[in-house]
Amino acid sequence: MANVLYINKPKGITSFDVCFKLRKVFGTKKIGHTGTLDPNATGVMIVLLDNATKANQFLVYDSKEYIAKVEIGYLTDTLDVDGNITEQKECTMPSKEEIINVMNSFVGKSKQLPPITSAIKVNGKKLYEYQREGKEVEIPLRDIEVFYIELIDLNESSFTFKTSVSSGTYIRALTRDILDKLGVIGTLTELERTKIDSVTVLECDKLEDILNGEFHDHSLYEVLSRKYETINFIDPRLAVNGRRLKLKTDKEKVLITSDKECIAIYEKDGDEYKCIRGLR
């Protein structure tokens, strides 16, 4: 059976490390996840095992929620505490009103310059590889959207905010841009991903519990049906071998199932739907 795990990733390890540990526990080579978290970050991570990895491309989520803590007065080359300090100076914390006004100015759609220490590929090479080699590269801007952002804590040296953003948004870069607009320097010191679409951190198992055999197993049906309209076929043979279908829906993509077994993802093609990925 295809398995999906909701994990509360601990601080101090990479997303690759998480998958490496789970590969050993579950004895599988087929494993993937739906979104990387930096080593210093914690929170929601969705991991796919075995046949569930077939659905990875369809689990690009619309929104992700984060809680981020920022300390002012110093800057690192990675924009977070994993990097080396590149600048330090005394900064006066802006007022609550200033911070809120600046944060609100980022709500909506915009272009974002990703960090040079990200894994985005340019000309087939990851940005952090250019950075390590000391080479300059033109970083393409990315379309992002901030759905909401709110200040939840403030003191003399740090502030904390919660935000919901489109998939692919870098919180390190959003923090950098907020600080630039406030006229101070600072670094992202804590980051927790609290939600991926409707999957919350409260639904997630701790990695240490999973490694000890204590976890909740989520079916691929459960995960995909939260994202896609589901159309059930009593006879799954009606939706195999690339057969085109006439369906009573207007959704761009739909999940075809049979008795809660995922059969395929279909995509609208004119007046019909075509199979774009079998999931059995």
Would you state the structure tokens that stand for residue 83, as one six-digit string? 């990097």
Q: For residue 158, what are the domain limits?
A: 63-194
User: Among 146, 179, 194, which residue terminates a domain?
Assistant: 194
Q: How confident is the model at residue 234 (pLDDT cuts 50, 70, 90)?
A: confident
174 and 84 share one domain: yes
Pairwise CA distance, residues 211 & 93, whole Å:
43
82 and 188 share one domain: yes
pTM: 0.88
3-state secondary structure of 185: coil
User: Among 147, 177, 194, which residue terminates a domain?
Assistant: 194
185 and 67 share one domain: yes
Pairwise CA distance, residues 106 & 164, whole Å:
11
**47 neighbors 5 (Cβ within 8 angstroms):** yes
**68 neighbors 61 (Cβ within 8 angstroms):** no
Pairwise CA distance, residues 25 & 152, whole Å:
38
264: domain CATH number is: 2.30.130
Residues 45-91: pLDDT tens digits? 999 999 899 988 888 778 999 999 999 999 998 899 988 999 999 99
User: How high is the pLDDT of residue 264?
Assistant: 92
67 and 57 share one domain: no
78 and 188 share one domain: yes
Q: Report the number of distinct structural domains present in the chain.
A: 3
User: How high is the pLDDT of residue 243?
Assistant: 85
Residues annotated catalytic, as ranges: 38
Strand (E) positions, the chain? 3-9, 31-33, 41-49, 63-72, 74-76, 85-88, 108-112, 121-122, 125-126, 142-154, 158-166, 186-196, 199-200, 205-206, 218-219, 229-232, 253-258, 261-269, 272-278
69 and 54 share one domain: no
Nearest by Cα to 33 from 51, 17, 56: 56
265 and 236 share one domain: yes
- For residues 94-101, give the mean pLDDT: 98
User: How high is the pLDDT of residue 147?
Assistant: 98
212: domain CATH number is: 3.30.2350.10
* 273 pLDDT more than 70: yes
Higher pLDDT among residues 126 and 142, named by residue: 142
3-state secondary structure of 57: helix
133 and 78 share one domain: yes
Q: How confident is the model at residue 93 (pLDDT cuts 50, 70, 90)?
A: very high
Average model confidence (pLDDT) across the chain: 91
Residues 14-45: pLDDT tens digits? 999 999 999 988 988 899 898 889 899 999 99
Pairwise CA distance, residues 37 & 243, whole Å:
38
Q: At what angle do helices 171-182 and 96-104 cross, to 10 degrees?
A: 130
Q: Among 25-34, 126-135, 251-260, which stretch is predicted with the lowest mean pLDDT?
A: 126-135
* 1 pLDDT more than 50: no
Pairwise CA distance, residues 15 & 35, whole Å:
8
User: How high is the pLDDT of residue 186?
Assistant: 97
User: How high is the pLDDT of residue 196?
Assistant: 93
User: How high is the pLDDT of residue 265?
Assistant: 94
207 and 178 share one domain: no
187 and 269 share one domain: no
- For residues 189-207, give the mean pLDDT: 95
Higher pLDDT among residues 272 and 114, named by residue: 272
71 and 104 share one domain: yes
213 and 273 share one domain: no
